[in-house]
Amino acid sequence: MSGPNVRPHDPDTSHKAAGRDPLRRARDRRRCLLALAGRPDGLTDFELGDLVGRQQTSAGKRRGELRDDGYVEDSGHRRAAPSGSLAIVWRLTPGGAALAMTMIDLVGPLMSGGAEATGIGEGP
């Protein structure tokens, strides 16, 4: 399988993962978007993965998809990763912030306590 979720030269494990559960990828993209919305100062992929309960590599893939769609951008800042190396701090674009607010407006009334009930965007 090839397409937007996997490149022809990616390892076979990536090709197998790309064929699994597109709804899970969509849900994880939404969770990444909302986590970034809760952190206007931005997040590294490591911080994002911690907040959404995914490995850094998985969170980074979903964040990359959001970047490719124009919803996330490099903030120009760097923070230390667990290894001590500097990691890119990602933030929402104005379009990403607008999309996140629309999602919160649509889902909030369905949840007791509004969007805050999701726990997404809260501090570690």
- For 56-113, give the DSSP string: HHHHHHHHHHHHHTTSEEEEEEEEE-TTSSEEEEEEE-HHHHHHHHHHHHHHGGGSTT
Q: Are 50 and 3 in contact (CB under 8 A)?
A: no
| Token output for 68 | 């490719």
What architecture (CATH level 2) is domain 25-107? Answer: Orthogonal Bundle (1.10)
| Predicted pLDDT of residue 111 | 52
| Token output for 116 | 């805050």
| Predicted pLDDT of residue 17 | 67
| Predicted pLDDT of residue 116 | 44
The CA angle 118-55-32, to the nearest 5 degrees, is 40
Domain boundaries, the chain: 25-107
User: Tens-digit pLDDT profile for the chain (124 aa)?
Assistant: 334 566 687 788 766 766 667 788 899 999 999 999 999 999 999 999 999 999 999 999 999 999 999 999 999 999 999 999 999 999 999 999 999 999 888 766 555 444 444 444 444 4
